[in-house]
Amino acid sequence: MKFERAFTDAFLEVVLTSTGIPLQVLSSKSDMSFAEITGVMNLNGSRHGVLFISAGVASIQGLFAHMTGTPKDEITQEDILDTICELVNMTAGNAKLRLGDDQFILSAPFALRGENMTMILKKRVRVLTWVIGNDEITFQLKVVL
């Protein structure tokens, strides 16, 4: 349970600290689909996995606008991709600190963009999935172990 909470608590803290927006875990589901833009980070070390943070453009724009004060209509595609990459980077780093340095090593973050993306996994792969948000923004957080 500590492992699972490390990622949700890290995400909630990162968003609150960088934007002042309080979010909450809305649901825990085993949906294998992704929203339009997904930040990804590979986790290697004594534990292996992949962290995905996925959201629609409007949610990422809302987060960026709160972080920087930039009006939504001035936010570029580069800003959106940088925001999701930085969000996955800060969340993974925060979770790593919560779990102890020997749990995993972080890769460079990267973003995927596309519609109707779905993850197909082999048996015995564990997927932890949460929907986190509020009335304004919603993100999917997935950890594949």
Question: Over the stretch 95-142, which tens digit does the pLDDT of each residue have?
Answer: 999 988 667 889 999 999 988 787 777 777 888 899 999 999 999 999
Residue range 2-144, CATH number? 3.40.1550.10
Higher pLDDT, 144 or 91: 91
Q: What is the pLDDT of residue 84?
A: 98
The string of DSSP codes covering 2-56 is HHHHHHHHHHHHHHHHHH----EEEEE----B--SEEEEEEEESSS-EEEEEEE-
> How crowded is residue 56: how many other Cβ atoms within 10 Å of its Cβ?
15
> How crowded is residue 17: how many other Cβ atoms within 10 Å of its Cβ?
10
Q: What is the pLDDT of residue 4?
A: 79
Nearest to 8 by CA among 63, 51, 56, 41: 51
pLDDT in tens, 28-80: 876 677 889 999 999 988 878 899 999 999 999 999 999 999 999 999 999 99
Residue partners of 136: CB distance under 8 A and separation at least 6: 21, 59, 62
Residue 11, both tokens: 């995400």
Q: What is the pLDDT of residue 57?
A: 95
Strands (E), 69-121: 105-106, 110-113
In the chain, where are the structural domains located? 2-144
